Structure 1
Amino acid sequence: MVEALDNPTADSLEKRSSLTLGGDTKEEPEPENRLPIYTISDDKGSSSTLDMVSLNSATTSATVNGDLENNKVPDDDIQRPKKEEKWWSTLIQVAVPFFIAGIGTIGAGLVLGHVQEWDVFKNVSAIFVLVPSLSGLKGNLDMCLASRLSTQANLGKMTSVKEITTMVVGNISLVQVQAIVAAIIVAVFAIAVNAIIDQEFSINNALLLTSAAVFTATTTCFVLDFVLVSVILISHNFKMNPDNVATPLAASIGDVVSITVLSITASYLYKVLDDNIWLPCVIIGLYLLILPVWIYVVLHNIYTKPVLTTGWTPVISALFISGLGGMILDQAVDNFSGFVVFQPIVNGIGGNLVSVQASRISTMLHRGSLPGILPEGTRVWDWPWRVLFYGTQTSKIARMLLALAFTGQIVFMFAADYMYQKTITIGVAFGFAYVICSTVQVMVLLYIAHIIVHQMWKCQMDPDNSAIPYLTSLGDLLGSIFLGLAFFILALVGQEYEK
């Protein structure tokens, strides 16, 4: 008779842990502040001990067969620790998609700098509040999907076509549900903020913003999610860590697409709205009709059903945090020339890099610990120096990401300036202020990521579903604040960025 450890959690662990085979049980005390050690013994008197690194991940059940050959757990039931990645391998895997995604953030800034002269942006100012929130929503949903699938790939779960199909269908359906609901909420938020600031409300503008937001969020998520799934599968097959590749692309590649689709959709609806008021109503109605279908698919999928009921708080909270950044953008666009060009770059790069770190920490925790228990020597609250430079398991990656942020922001700053101005106009004062504010933003985000991911794990929450929305929305808010502060100081000393 076999007694298996099924879906262990922190609440089910005692100071003495055991696993029984053939009726005999051996128990060993669990040392203070260490992961439990499981002793497997049989009626012949032989035994084996396994710690959490050797057992399956906490999200699956550990199954032990009755007639084990040589009294060993089958290979399929052992989660073998992977070799540590070489620093140069990690750097290449992160840097390539980072700079590709950086091109996307530059494109997003240039698109926003161009479309701000369109009639819809001049006459419906609430759209500036909507842009950061909608871009943040798009990035959050895609990065959570990329983080979930990357973790499953690193845990060896994406091996059969059936399992992969189930994961992909469930996750894409989940993103559609979240996109429809969250896009409506973020549109209502933008409309309410604008009504309070401008002391006026227009039902036509409300319908325009809501329909454009829902169409943009669902369409861009649906298309780009298939791209992300392909990237994860290809990188996993080529023995690359999907955490390094997928999350940077998800963080920024969608910004330029979402801003472009939103601008075109809103501009078209603005032109035809007076004579076709029914059009935005039909768009909203169609998405509300299809919403139950997506919900049905998610509820009947074992990988996404729990997320549907528990994953809303971080997504909705992130919308309002990003919305605060949108309010800053709405005010800065009229006061600081060039702000709309650099704001998506600062926000996108910050969210890009912190999503890599959050996804890697989450994978490390899934692979080597149980929910509710931190690995040995790991603390939620630690000194910034240890987290960012030297002293923790993830500080090496943090140093690498900071170096990428510093180098990348210099490259992207000059590239965006040249593409926007058709010549190089960056001065020493602006360049210094820009690099300082963007680097400080990434440092703060990486430190917050360490705290949030480990605290969520300690509270038995899955960081793959909850951490990234908070981090990227904080990236939007902090990026807008720091960049706005830099522009304000430059204006005080007469060093404004001018076209």
Structure 2
Amino acid sequence: MSRLLSSAKSSFAQTSYTPLRDSRQSSESIAEEDNLDSDSISSPQKPSRHTPQHTQRISQSAAGDSSQSAEQSQHVLASDSEEDDEGGKETDGIYKDRAAHGSSGISQRDAFGDSSDTVVSIESSSGSPSPKRSRESFEFSEPSYDRGPGRDRDVEGAGSEATGDEGVSEQGLWQQASTTLVIAVSGLICAGWLLDAVQHWEVFIEISELIILIPILLNLKGNLEMNLASRLSTASNMGLLDTPATRNAFIKGNLALLQLQSLTVASVAGLFSFVLGMIVHPTTNNLEEIALMISSSMLCASISSFVLGSFMCCLVLLCRHFKVNPDNIACPLASSLGDLITLVILSGCAVFLVKHIQTPLCLVLLLILLALIPMWLYYVRQNKFVSEVVKEGWGPVFAAMVISSTAGLTLERYINQFPGMAMIAPVLNGLTGNIGSIYVSRISTSLHANVKENYRSTEKTLFLVHIPIEILFLTVVSVLGLGDIRWSAGVVFGYTVVALTLVAIALMLAKWLTTLFWRWGYNPDNTALPFLTSLMDVLGTTLLVACFWTEFAVEMTCESCVSDVKNVLDGSDGIKKYDINLKEQRVVVEGSAPPSSISRLLKNTGKTVIVRGSGVAQGAHSGAAVCILDINSDDPSYTTLPGTEKPYGLVRFLQVNTETCVVDVTVQGLTPGQHGIHIHELGDTSGGAATTGAHYNPTNVAHGDQKNGHVGDLGNIDVDEKGWGDLVLESKRIKVWDIIGRSVVVTDKADDLGQGSSTASKVDGSSGKGIICGIVARSAGVFENAKKVCDCSGTTLWEEARLMKGDKGNDFY
């Protein structure tokens, strides 16, 4: 049983370590003392439904235990008179039920899915044949072997929460929690920085299901590694790692178990992520991508489990050697390093395997990894320390996978639309999840020990300790310039509100889930934590998306225009709130709706709309370009709408951040139906579209759609019966500074997006000849130009666009 931060000491580094067993006691002496064989230490019986996941056994050495001298053990006792009433009334029934299981001469052993082997003895009050409540005691041995009065005070201090010494408890919790959370945040910042970088890698762009996989796999692996840290810490406290024979068997068994669990959950996570990706992008998946997804997930899980598992084993052994309680170190480090190492290995595996996606390598590797699962299962079943553990704990882990998949889908959808999200999301979700996990661990410890937790005091301390950690995070990210984030007072305020709200929710969920699962007869250490961490991933990502905003320039000169804008924004999905500034002709929209959707809503008013910025850009943008589409050829075969002199159009490119370019296309005079639109590599329009060269394809990939095609593929634009058509999209691949000087071409036919059977389908989508084209030029002065005319005046879009040039002539371009 993990007792993270359960002791209230004055310093993380100087906290007195009180293991449950003396390091001089071997596993044989433990077995002899409890009159058990060695197997019974690690192979508890199946828990009875009458006891909350506990197995009771009659101790045949109760008299021997009771006569142990103070030189061998000390008891931390909690009775009714020592319990703090504040915040504990609501769980009186829980503690009374827990105490009712005790009887004279009976000892209990935790028999949970995490194989916690903490020995707890339940004794009756001396001289009282029928005590009001039995007394639980944990056995502690002193690593310093100092039997002076000071040691008695240390042991009493460890139980200060039960005796109402709230000042000492809050001070110890504050100092230990702040230290461990700083360690955790350091790892989470690195993980966020790495995610912000790898999202631009070609493999993550071409196979976006990998983005869906990241939070699912990190959540699953994190739960497994936290359980491993808990098992190792408990074994260390019991002295099971002090003799070579027991230590080797225990460590080998747990590393094999971790491999089995990791390969199993990674295979399910990879397949599950791919299925979710098929739902979102049903036409872009194939067998090769399935093999790559699952093999990358499993290979990453196997390698990271070996690295982290070995590190955790060494760390716990070092803690034991230097008499430091591993409960306070192993779990925070497992949390902070787990995400970072797993993300590094997943990125490396994906980059390596994508180079061989057209070869049998991914499939062969997948078959080998799947074959390892039954081999590890056979080995684990032969190890007495973990043979029972393999049967437990799968339900909560996979339920957490389903829950965290929502966070994966949200991250995949918005990571390229909002700058800085990849940097902020891991830290926000991880930090609040760690705070909730600490609270779960403390409540679970108090329930197992039959000691009332001072809920209000603990909640207050954990909530307050979170604030300086968040300030430290914001300072580090701002000073080092991590992520594509432009901080401002408004952004900091919005993030702070989200973070504080999420911490409050985490603390409430932690208390509710822990007590709920305890009432249902399940160990909270195995059940509450997976549910809590997955729920915080979903809530954190959702709240983070909700606080992003997009700013538009909208042509408004009267209150009627303002009313039109309000009418289209009110009640629209994904829009949290908005602000309209008539004087500056700006509309700021806050919410989760992507810029393209909001732009289309605003265009429904008949106004000219330009995206100015998104996320935290504060109205600034990284670059803008414009392309005037026209017929630059006398070829009479070009198809135009009957009654129209010639077709024309306008394309705007706005780099709202380093990840996203918003493309806004408007055409008029084309025949009704779909027409392909592409960026071409040359800017020579002297011969019309015929001299603009091939599609812009710097990555040398096959023609396709906006997701899987080359940079120049913009898809199709729909033209209505009046010859009018528009298209707004966000592109991950286009960078304004790369396309200036090139050209945009609208074709006669629809683009088949590379799905046709002909050779031309893989080159240009069989979209026919170009109709209108234009050169992409840098746009300057468009937002500063004061000569803007409202559509209420009766001017057309194109008249208005020309008027927007004002006295600056070609500055519009």
Short-chain TM bin: 0.7 to 0.9
Aligned residue identity for 2:138: Q
Change (3 A) 1:462 1:298: farther
Matches of 1:153 and 1:479, distance apart in 2: 35
Change (3 A) 1:431 1:20: closer
Q: Which sits farther off after the overlay, 457-466 or 174-183?
A: 457-466
CA distances 1:404-456 after superposition (whole Å, capped 9, x unpaired): 32221221123224434599842111112212212222222222222223333
Name the residue aligned to 1:407.
468
Name the residue aligned to 1:437.
498
Checking the alignment, whether the CA contact within 8 Å between 2:423 and 2:482 is kept in structure 1 is no
Checking the alignment, whether the CA contact within 8 Å between 1:414 and 1:424 is kept in structure 2 is no
1:210 is displaced (CA, Å) by 0.9
1:233 is displaced (CA, Å) by 3.6
Residue of 328, 337, 341 corresponding to 2:419? 337
1:398 is displaced (CA, Å) by 3.5
Matches of 1:290 and 1:451, distance apart in 2: 39
Change (3 A) 1:333 1:143: same
Name the residue aligned to 2:517.
456
Name the residue aligned to 2:596.
none
Matches of 1:20 and 1:142, distance apart in 2: 33
- Verify: 1:150 aligned to 2:233, yes or no: yes
Name the residue aligned to 2:535.
474
Matches of 2:483 and 2:413, distance apart in 1: 26
Name the residue aligned to 1:259.
343
Matches of 2:523 and 2:189, distance apart in 1: 32
* TM-score (structure 1 length as normaliser): 0.77
1:159 is displaced (CA, Å) by 4.6
> How much identity, in percent, do the aligned residues show?
29
Q: Secondary structure at the match of 1:79?
A: strand
Aligned residue identity for 1:284: L
Matches of 2:281 and 2:473, distance apart in 1: 35
- Verify: 1:245 aligned to 2:322, yes or no: no
Change (3 A) 1:456 1:424: closer
Matches of 1:238 and 1:316, distance apart in 2: 37
- Verify: 1:212 aligned to 2:296, yes or no: yes
Name the residue aligned to 1:270.
354
1:182 is displaced (CA, Å) by 0.9
Checking the alignment, whether the CA contact within 8 Å between 2:419 and 2:484 is kept in structure 1 is no
- Give unmatched runs, 5+ long, in structure 2: 1-33, 37-43, 62-94, 112-116, 123-135, 141-154, 159-167, 550-575, 578-587, 591-612, 618-656, 658-813
Name the residue aligned to 1:174.
257
Q: Secondary structure at the match of 1:334?
A: coil
Change (3 A) 1:298 1:91: farther
Change (3 A) 1:104 1:226: same
Name the residue aligned to 1:67.
none
Checking the alignment, whether the CA contact within 8 Å between 2:418 and 2:548 is kept in structure 1 is yes
Name the residue aligned to 1:193.
276
CA distances 1:353-396 after superposition (whole Å, capped 9, x unpaired): 22233333334444x2xxxxxx37x6xxxxxxxxxxxxx43554
Aligned residue identity for 1:109: G
Change (3 A) 1:437 1:266: same
Name the residue aligned to 1:69.
none
1:195 is displaced (CA, Å) by 0.9
Change (3 A) 1:365 1:153: farther
Change (3 A) 1:149 1:458: farther
Residue of 35, 50, 75 corresponding to 2:99? 35
User: Whose strand fraction is larger, Structure 1's or Structure 2's?
Assistant: 2
Aligned residue identity for 1:458: R
Change (3 A) 1:4 1:438: same
- Verify: 1:393 aligned to 2:454, yes or no: yes
- Residues 68-467 of structure 1: matches in 2 within 5 Å? 79-80=138-139, 83-85=156-158, 86-87=168-169, 88-154=171-237, 158-200=241-283, 201-274=285-358, 277-366=359-448, 368=449, 375=450, 392-393=453-454, 395-420=456-481, 425-467=486-528
1:176 is displaced (CA, Å) by 1.1
Change (3 A) 1:63 1:90: closer
User: Whose helix fraction is larger, Structure 1's or Structure 2's?
Assistant: 1
Name the residue aligned to 1:497.
616
Aligned residue identity for 1:243: D
Matches of 2:256 and 2:524, distance apart in 1: 20
Q: Secondary structure at the match of 1:497?
A: coil
Matches of 1:288 and 1:495, distance apart in 2: 44
Q: Secondary structure at the match of 1:11?
A: coil
Change (3 A) 1:204 1:430: same
Name the residue aligned to 1:73.
none
Q: Secondary structure at the match of 1:272?
A: coil
Matches of 1:245 and 1:405, distance apart in 2: 18
1:271 is displaced (CA, Å) by 2.2
1:132 is displaced (CA, Å) by 0.7
Change (3 A) 1:328 1:210: same
Matches of 2:292 and 2:57, distance apart in 1: 61
CA distances 1:455-483 after superposition (whole Å, capped 9, x unpaired): 33333323333332222111211111121
Change (3 A) 1:123 1:495: closer
1:250 is displaced (CA, Å) by 1.4
Change (3 A) 1:423 1:35: closer
1:158 is displaced (CA, Å) by 4.9
| Number of residue pairs aligned between Structure 1 and Structure 2 | 438
Matches of 2:236 and 2:314, distance apart in 1: 12
1:254 is displaced (CA, Å) by 1.6
Matches of 2:495 and 2:397, distance apart in 1: 29
Checking the alignment, whether the CA contact within 8 Å between 2:485 and 2:616 is kept in structure 1 is no
Checking the alignment, whether the CA contact within 8 Å between 1:102 and 1:412 is kept in structure 2 is yes
Matches of 2:200 and 2:485, distance apart in 1: 23
1:32 is displaced (CA, Å) by 6.5
Checking the alignment, whether the CA contact within 8 Å between 2:221 and 2:338 is kept in structure 1 is yes
Q: Which sits farther off after the overlay, 195-204 or 439-448?
A: 439-448
Q: Secondary structure at the match of 2:548?
A: helix
Higher relative contact order, structure no. (Cα contacts within 8 Å, ≥ 6 residues apart):
1
- Give unmatched runs, 5+ long, in structure 1: 23-30, 41-51, 65-76, 369-374, 379-391
Checking the alignment, whether the CA contact within 8 Å between 1:318 and 1:473 is kept in structure 2 is yes
Matches of 1:484 and 1:102, distance apart in 2: 21
Matches of 2:507 and 2:464, distance apart in 1: 13
Matches of 2:51 and 2:540, distance apart in 1: 42
Aligned residue identity for 2:512: I
Q: Secondary structure at the match of 1:80?
A: strand
Change (3 A) 1:478 1:162: farther
CA distances 1:161-183 after superposition (whole Å, capped 9, x unpaired): 44443332222222211111111
Matches of 2:221 and 2:261, distance apart in 1: 10
Q: Which sits farther off after the overlay, 341-350 or 489-498?
A: 489-498
Matches of 2:173 and 2:59, distance apart in 1: 41
Change (3 A) 1:399 1:305: farther
Checking the alignment, whether the CA contact within 8 Å between 1:116 and 1:122 is kept in structure 2 is yes
Change (3 A) 1:199 1:164: same
Matches of 1:237 and 1:394, distance apart in 2: 34
Name the residue aligned to 1:388.
none
Matches of 1:273 and 1:34, distance apart in 2: 56
Aligned residue identity for 2:313: V
Checking the alignment, whether the CA contact within 8 Å between 1:418 and 1:424 is kept in structure 2 is no
Matches of 2:361 and 2:510, distance apart in 1: 42
Aligned residue identity for 2:260: V
